[in-house]
Amino acid sequence: MDLSPFLQNEHPFLSNKPLKYHEHKEKFVKQTISLMKDLPFNTVFDINNLKSLKSEEITNKNEENLVFFPKLSQDKRIHKKNLQFSQKTEKSSQKSRFSEKIPNFDENINIKKPFILTYPEVLDAYSLHQFIIRKGRTLEETPEFQSYKRICGGIWLQISSIIKSLEKLMSSYDIPLAYIDGKKLAKLAIVPRKTHDINELMDIIVNSEEINKVLKIPSRMFMGINGKNIAVLKIQSFWRMWACKRDYRRIRVLIEKARIIQRSFRLFLQYKQTKFLIKQRNQQEIDLYFSLAGDFKANWPQIKLNKRIEIHINSFSFQETRRLTMEKFLQRQNNQMTRIFNIRDPLVEIIYISPFDLPAEIINYYHKVMSLGDLNDYKDRIHFIWPENHINFPSHFSTARLLLYSPKAIKRIKGLIKGKEAFIVPGFPSNDDIKLAAILNIAIFAGDPQKSFAFSNKSAAKRLFLNCDIPCPPGAYEIYDEKELINSLTILIANNLNINTWVFKIDDEFNGRGISWFSVNSVGFFKELRKKGGFEVNEAVLARIREVLVAVLPVRVKFATPSLYPNWKEFLMHFLRKGGIIEAMPNEQNSSISSPSISFMIGIIL
């Protein structure tokens, strides 16, 4: 398109001039505007494709004030004229606008006649579409808002929802004036959202910086229309929060206590159930022990005539307090190693259980002794086994218990006795031997451990010997009171003045540990009684003897193990707690204070 006619004109189609600023209040005043009002021509020529344009009519009331728009909507009706121009011009001077290079207009040319837009149309096309929310209400009567409502009619339902949210926000914080950007609001309304947070709402507010300062003031939320109600709700919410926290702390304490009770109760139930299971298992082991013992007793005449395996365990299964106070406890358990010489019976195979690892030198020494005794195949008929875990447990554990905690040793024993007749020969029978017999499924060559324990103390043995009419020295048994001890000793001395020494023995001790003695010869009063001789024992004499004993016993009594019982007070405390006996000691010159014992088997002769 040739623009030379326009460029040669002294009035170009574009012009620059200072921009006039208007007051803000003039924005809402209706006025008629006109662009390029001073131009001498008001006709726009469409040189390109003039023939293709269709003539349309434009209705315009004011033809004097014409407006030029860069783009016209398709729904505007444009009137086009067919004009013919001759080569003559209105002015013949060289300043004529079309005096040079005027094209040949021999044919009809369509001319697009400019049209005039109304104020609402101009607002629809060129307005920023910013509207105002004043004191929580939108100014809907302003042209800007009306224009915005017209162009956004398709999504107005979503926009109105956001506007209500904005109004609620402004009224809640008593915001006097807020400018809303309609374009950003429309973009926000396009996104399908049920609710919008305050940050999204602040993005569409033009004066958001000023409003943000107000929102940061806590008291502003109570200055709105519903400020009192909001304040009441806030107080109620804080009170409910405090009440909930108080109740929560109380409930938390109750829950914690309930958990403790539940945990303790569950622990009690588990303890009770475990105790019941242990008791049930122990009962099963005891039943199995009695069953094996009964079969072993019935079959013993045949067993002793056939090949058999003897498992020797010299276990000291005493009370823990006694085991802790024993010196060289492990060596004492191993002091019956000579049991292995039962191998002289060609039908016997020995498994000796040692409480600790036996050095090769000791084993070779016993092998050498057996070779000197003309024993055949002794290396194949004797086996030395010790618990592999004995170093992991305290040294006062009995051999039988250490063997229970050593699976490799038990596995080796099971392999040696598999398919053969075997039985256990214990040291001091206990429940540990019963458990071991149940694991190995073999009998124990001993009586009932409970009965053995009952008859193993000094008082029970004394009573048993008296019931069997076995000769026993003068004495008293089952003494548990100091007054009873003094009275019993008084009567014994009064009736047996010829006895020089009286021995005190604690019931559950052994190997001379719980022994002390009192020599009558060391007290002058008793020497005088002997010289008198033939006196009558009456209450006066007994009272005098009693007084002397109370005075001299703490200083005249001697102890077999001073390291264990350093004085009479300590010995008497253990003597009365466990019980004990008083026995007369023979008056032989070569006699010594000791505790001899023997092991023997009572067989049944059929």
pLDDT one-digit tens code per residue, 499-553: 888 999 998 887 778 889 888 888 888 888 877 766 677 888 888 889 988 998 9
76 band by pLDDT with thresholds 50, 70 and 90: very low
Indicate the SS3 state at residue 65.
coil
Res. 113: pLDDT tops 90 = no
Q: How do residues 352-370 score in pLDDT, each as one tens digit?
A: 999 988 888 988 998 888 8
CA distance linking residue 589 with residue 546, whole number of Å: 28
At 187, list the tokens. 């973009």
Residue 223: predicted pLDDT: 78
| Pair (320, 424) in one structural domain | yes
CA 224/CA 174 separation, integer angstroms? 4
Contact partners, residue 423, CB within 8 Å, separation at least 6: 296, 303, 308, 309, 310, 311, 442, 443, 444, 445
Of 531 and 21, the one with more pLDDT = 531
pLDDT in tens, 399-437: 899 999 999 999 999 999 998 999 999 888 888 889 999
What's the confidence (pLDDT) of residue 67?
35
Give 530-544 pLDDT, tens digit per residue. Answer: 777 666 778 888 888
Q: pLDDT value at position 32?
A: 53
The answer to whether residue 558 sits within a structural domain is yes
- Residue for token digits 């940061």? 216
The average pLDDT across 244-273 equals: 94
Note whether residue 108 is domain-resident.
yes
Highest mean pLDDT of the ranges 1-5, 54-58, 227-231: 227-231
CATH number, domain at 441? 3.40.50
CB of 470 closer than 8 Å to CB of 502? no
* Among 313, 377, 315, residue whose Cα is nearest residue 349: 377
Note the pLDDT of residue 12: 54
Q: Are residues 384 and 442 in the same domain?
A: yes
Burial class (CB in 10 A: 0-12, 13-18, 19+), 46: middle
Instruction: Flag whether 235 is in a domain.
Output: no
Q: How far apart are CA 68 and CA 239, in angstroms?
A: 67
Regarding whether 402 and 340 lie in a shared domain, the answer is: yes
Contact indicator for 490, 545 with CB cutoff of 8 Å: yes
pLDDT of residue 321: 74
pLDDT at res. 70: 37
Number of domains within the chain: 4
Q: Which of 366, 373, 310, 376 is nearest to 346 (CA)?
A: 376
- Is residue 132 assigned to a domain? yes
Q: Which of 444, 105, 492 is nearest to 290 (CA)?
A: 444
For residue 262, being part of any structural domain is answered with no
pLDDT of residue 590: 54
Average pLDDT score over residue span 78-100:
39
Same domain, 435 and 486: no
- At a CB cut-off of 8 Å and minimum separation 6, what does 357 contact? 386, 390
Could you tell me if 470 and 436 lie in one domain?
A: no
3-state secondary structure of 191: coil
Identify whether 402 is part of a domain: yes
Mean pLDDT estimate for the chain: 79
Compute the average pLDDT of residues 307-330.
Answer: 83
- Tell me, yes or no, whether 270 lies in a domain: no
Quick one: pLDDT at residue 257?
94
**484 lies in the same domain as 436:** no
The pTM of the full predicted model, rounded to 2 decimals, is 0.55
List, edge to edge, every strand of the sheet that includes 558-559: 475-479, 580-585, 501-506, 515-519, 558-559
Q: Which domain holds residue 20?
A: 1-117
